[in-house]
């Protein structure tokens, strides 16, 4: 760690004194399947996220942040254990970390590392894909509330059972994220004799897109995302195999033919509004409670989400819509601003270790974001890498996205000129300048591509 960063850290720890220990608390908030449709990122004109926006205003907003795995399980294992999917072999949702006791013996999760350093660890809602790995476990109501949630749409046989969307009419206090927020708010109102690491995992806007009727009705006819009809004409066959291989999720053609595209977008936006309301309850509890001045707040999404872009739905791709996520780190008494430097969720573990002055974990692959928290314009030589299956990777820097598939085929997009990624510059004869970009970004591809676990 550089001298100026050490001085910043010492100053921070002096400011964030906790019961004489000089260790700040951490409020660690995950939002499932949230793309950039939040106010501070400007992703959709009708989004309404005043609480995410107020957290961004008092912290550091990373506008070019990316997940490492583009579905729940690999993304969460990566950020919570500090290793890339390509290093661990956890690539999909079907094989869970609990099935690998040897891995758990060799690697320490983020909450357990905090526990080993004297923290009380608490969790509620969805943080880990499976399991909890915390000392105190609050409610985990699940994605579908049995006896409460009601099916809205019929769907083809074989689709995943939770693929549905539309308003629900039961009491709002019983909605899954309201239950989670209530418990987390209660914890934030209590005094504590130890610093705490409190994890709060909101399910929505994960499917089923089930917001309360009140929130759903607050939206008028919604705008659909921009979609190019011939968008697949310049992508390699490997992209089709990787991104269109899940038979349990709807096709874009079906969503259009059944006139459900707008209904699903409407429900997704309503879920975003609803979750933002619950975040507001949590932030209010923090601000009114005894820990407002000594608590670091981290808010992130595990991955993005397609709602028709690239003529597809859900996650499971290596394009911007799936890899890019909201990321905010709010440290009391400073470190405010925004940066468009490429950063990874993999950096959360080492960053929090630095901010809280904990012992280092030498097995972490991510780099600390402390230099960018100190100066959002700091020199930054890192890229963000996302992975979907063995040896399929995307590399993102400030301007470019480079994708390379296991069969060697490629995509290249210039986000300065093509933010929708409609023009694959790696198709056909390469422009010499584009070839140089590819050569530079290719050097960042993971050198290890572990076989998929469970096979």
Calculate mean pLDDT across residues 115-128.
Answer: 96
Catalytic position from the list 40, 66, 67, 72: 72
261's enclosing H/E stretch is helix 261-288
**Cα–Cα dist 310/229, whole Å:** 8
- φ, ψ dihedrals at 237, nearest 5°: -60, -30
**Cα–Cα dist 18/195, whole Å:** 7
**Cα–Cα dist 222/236, whole Å:** 32
Q: Is residue 145's pLDDT more than 50?
A: yes
Calculate mean pLDDT across residues 354-376.
Answer: 96
Average pLDDT value over all residues in the chain: 93
pLDDT bin (cut points 50, 70, 90) of residue 132 is low
**Cα–Cα dist 147/144, whole Å:** 9
Q: Is residue 3's pLDDT more than 70?
A: no
pLDDT bin (cut points 50, 70, 90) of residue 128 is confident
Residues of 287-306 as b/e, b for ≥16 C-beta within 10 angstroms?
eebebeebbbbbbbbbbbbb
- φ, ψ dihedrals at 400, nearest 5°: -115, 150
Q: How many CA atoms lie within 13 A of 452 on its CB side?
A: 15
Question: Is 4 labeled as catalytic in the residue annotation?
Answer: no
Q: What's residue 60's pLDDT?
A: 98
Catalytic position from the list 107, 113, 129, 303: 129
Residue whose C-alpha is closest to residue 405's, from 154, 192, 235: 235
**Cα–Cα dist 2/258, whole Å:** 57
What confidence tens digit (pLDDT) does each residue in 30-56 have? 999 999 999 999 999 999 999 999 999
pLDDT bin (cut points 50, 70, 90) of residue 18 is very low
Percent of the chain with pLDDT over 70: 95
pLDDT bin (cut points 50, 70, 90) of residue 118 is very high
Residue 103 and residue 88 in contact, taking contact as beta carbons nearer than 8 Å: yes
Please give the residue that has the higher pLDDT: either 284 or 14.
284
Q: What's residue 249's pLDDT?
A: 87
Q: Is residue 449's pLDDT more than 50?
A: yes
Residue whose C-alpha is closest to residue 163's, from 173, 155, 172, 174: 155
Residue 312 and residue 244 in contact, taking contact as beta carbons nearer than 8 Å: yes
3-383 fold: Alkaline Phosphatase, subunit A (3.40.720)
What confidence tens digit (pLDDT) does each residue in 147-202 have? 999 999 988 787 887 899 999 999 999 999 999 999 999 999 999 999 999 999 99
Q: What's residue 14's pLDDT?
A: 46
Q: Is residue 277's pLDDT more than 80?
A: yes
Q: How many CA atoms lie within 13 A of 427 on its CB side?
A: 14
pLDDT bin (cut points 50, 70, 90) of residue 21 is low
What confidence tens digit (pLDDT) does each residue in 65-111 have? 999 999 999 999 999 999 999 999 999 988 889 899 999 999 999 99
Q: Is residue 218's pLDDT more than 70?
A: yes
**Cα–Cα dist 144/175, whole Å:** 9
**Cα–Cα dist 9/214, whole Å:** 45
Q: What's residue 292's pLDDT?
A: 96
Residue 433 burial (C-beta neighbours within 10 Å; 0-12, 13-18, 19+): exposed
Question: Is 129 labeled as catalytic in the residue annotation?
Answer: yes
Which residues pair with residue 200 across a beta bridge? 29, 124
What confidence tens digit (pLDDT) does each residue in 51-67 have? 999 999 999 999 999 99
Q: Is residue 244's pLDDT more than 90?
A: no
pLDDT bin (cut points 50, 70, 90) of residue 19 is very low
What confidence tens digit (pLDDT) does each residue in 397-441 have? 999 999 999 999 999 999 999 999 999 999 988 899 999 999 999
């Amino acid at each position: 760690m550089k001298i100026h960063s050490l001085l910043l850290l010492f100053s921070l720890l002096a400011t964030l004194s906790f019961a004489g220990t000089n260790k700040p608390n951490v409020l660690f908030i995950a939002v499932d399947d949230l793309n950039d449709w939040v106010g501070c990122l400007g992703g959709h004109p009708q989004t309404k996220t005043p609480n995410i926006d107020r957290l961004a205003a008092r912290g550091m907003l990373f506008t070019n942040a990316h997940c490492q795995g583009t579905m729940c399980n690999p993304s969460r294992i990566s950020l919570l254990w500090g290793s890339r999917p390509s290093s661990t072999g956890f690539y999909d949702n079907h094989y869970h970390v609990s099935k690998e006791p040897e891995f758990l013996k060799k690697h320490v999760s983020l909450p357990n590392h905090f526990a080993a350093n004297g923290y009380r660890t608490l969790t509620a809602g969805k943080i880990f894909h499976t399991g909890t790995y915390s000392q105190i476990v609050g409610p985990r109501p699940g994605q579908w509330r049995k006896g409460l949630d009601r099916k809205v749409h019929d769907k083809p046989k074989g689709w995943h059972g939770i693929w549905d969307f539309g308003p629900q009419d039961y009491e709002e206090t019983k909605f899954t994220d309201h239950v989670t927020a209530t418990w987390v708010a209660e914890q934030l109102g209590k005094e504590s004799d130890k610093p705490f690491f409190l994890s709060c995992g909101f399910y929505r806007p994960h499917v089923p897109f089930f917001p309360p009727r009140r929130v759903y009705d607050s939206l008028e006819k919604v705008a659909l995302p921009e979609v190019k009809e011939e968008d697949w004409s310049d992508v390699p066959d490997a992209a089709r195999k990787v991104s269109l291989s899940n038979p349990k999720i709807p096709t874009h053609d079906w969503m259009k033919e059944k006139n459900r595209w707008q209904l699903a977008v409407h429900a997704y936006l309503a879920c975003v509004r609803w979750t933002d309301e619950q975040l507001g309850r949590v932030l209010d509890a923090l601000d009114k409670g005894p820990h407002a001045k000594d608590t670091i707040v981290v808010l992130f999404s595990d991955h993005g989400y397609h709602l028709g872009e690239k003529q597809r739905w859900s996650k499971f791709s290596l394009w911007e819509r799936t890899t890019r996520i909201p990321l905010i780190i709010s440290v009391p008494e400073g470190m405010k601003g925004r940066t468009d430097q490429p950063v990874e969720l993999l950096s959360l573990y080492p960053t929090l270790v630095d901010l809280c002055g904990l012992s280092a974990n030498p097995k972490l692959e991510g780099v600390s974001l402390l230099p960018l928290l100190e100066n959002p314009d700091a020199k930054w030589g890192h890229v963000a890498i996302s992975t979907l299956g063995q040896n399929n990777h995307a590399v993102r820097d400030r301007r470019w996205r480079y994708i390379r598939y296991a069969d060697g085929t490629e995509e290249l997009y210039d986000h300065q000129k093509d933010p929708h990624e409609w023009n694959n510059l790696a198709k056909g004869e390469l422009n010499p300048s584009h070839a140089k970009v590819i050569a530079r970004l290719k050097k960042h591809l993971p050198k290890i591509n572990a076989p998929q676990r469970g096979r």
